[in-house]
Amino acid sequence: MKLPNKVITYKESLLAKFPIVLAILKDQEIAVDLLYKKMKSKVDDIGEFMEIMDCLYALGKIELDVKKGVIRYVA
């Protein structure tokens, strides 16, 4: 997990990408694959994207609706 430290700047860390994901989810529910397509240019790889999703889920900022197959922002 890329967290800011002496070597990794805030901009390079996962934390800097949280607001980008939340801004996308603020206005709409979206399927995981479509969200990845929107984020693809902003993340290094699918692994980094999944780490971002894991962190946001653990923090209670997003939830997965399995029946609809979408992720949504939790206010």
Write down the pLDDT at residue 23.
95
pLDDT tens by residue, 8-67: 999 999 999 999 999 999 999 999 999 999 999 999 999 999 999 999 999 999 999 999
Phi-psi region of 6 (alpha: psi -120 to 50; beta: other; left: phi over 0): alpha
Neighbouring residues of 22: CB distance < 8 A, sequence distance ≥ 6:
56, 61, 62, 73
Whole-model pTM: value is 0.90
| Residue ranges covered by each domain of the chain | 31-75
- CA–CA gap between residue 48 and residue 75 (Å, rounded): 24
CB 46 within 8 A of CB 36: yes
> Residue 22 burial (CB < 10 Å; 0-12/13-18/19+)?
middle
